[in-house]
Amino acid sequence: MSVTHAAAADPVICLASMSPRRRELLAQIGVPHTVDAAHVDESLLTAESPADYVARLACLKAATVRQRGGALPVLAADTTVVLDGSVYAKPADRADGIAMLAALAGRTHQVLTAVALATREGVTLRVNRSSVTFRNIERAEMEAYWQTGEPHDKAGGYAIQGYGAVFVAELSGSYSGVMGLPLLETAELLRAAGIRYWKGAAP
């Protein structure tokens, strides 16, 4: 189940996510890993700020999988889109997805991604903040984008690494963070825990 640059490399962490994007990003920096999804309740708590929301979920996912008794440190992440202080999570249905795109069109929103690492010493956390500006989007294009299937399970109803890239006029921050796993912060957590990145990379 793991994704690595070198298939024979021993995994150094467990990723608490089934996201192919996060697996690809870990592979990009040469981190061999296994996968064990957390499956936690992702509901926003009353009066919870967007930053607290993603931080709580990332830590909860990492701790949940760590408590299952595996030997490896557990890496988890959570991403949300924020506009005018409101959280835009995964769209519930087509109407919700179209409404999200309509709200984001022609405006700048924030993408918050928290990444957490659970080890025997506890859970450490980093939060990445990026800003994304969308061009104006016609209703017919929103409908066509929904029909591709891509936005169905994406925070904010779009994927910057996929078809949704055509909407992005400007990005300030971390491209990998908007994808769902900020590699700078991830590498910082791994390095602080004595875990090598580039371990699965070709010599």
Task: Please indicate, yes or no, if residue 73 is contained in any of the structural domains.
Answer: yes
Question: Which residue range is the domain that position 42 belongs to?
Answer: 13-192
Task: Please indicate, yes or no, if residue 42 is contained in any of the structural domains.
Answer: yes
Indicate which CATH number applies to the domain containing 156: 3.90.950.10
Task: Please indicate, yes or no, if residue 198 is contained in any of the structural domains.
Answer: no
DSSP state of 103: H
Report H helices in the chain.
20-28, 50-66, 94-104, 139-147, 175-179, 183-192
pLDDT value, residue 1: 39
Closest CA to 114 of 145, 149, 72, 79: 79
Task: Please indicate, yes or no, if residue 26 is contained in any of the structural domains.
Answer: yes
d(CA 82, CA 141): 22
> How many Cα atoms sit within 13 Å of 28 on the Cβ side?
13
Question: Hey, which residues are catalytic here?
Answer: 78
pLDDT in tens, the chain (203 residues): 333 333 337 899 999 999 999 999 999 999 999 999 999 999 999 999 999 999 999 999 999 999 999 899 999 999 999 999 999 989 999 999 999 999 999 999 999 999 999 999 999 999 999 999 999 999 999 999 999 999 999 999 999 999 999 999 999 999 999 999 999 999 999 999 999 999 766 54
Task: Please indicate, yes or no, if residue 183 is contained in any of the structural domains.
Answer: yes
Q: How many independent structural domains does the chain possess?
A: 1
d(CA 64, CA 158): 27
Task: Please indicate, yes or no, if residue 203 is contained in any of the structural domains.
Answer: no
d(CA 128, CA 152): 23
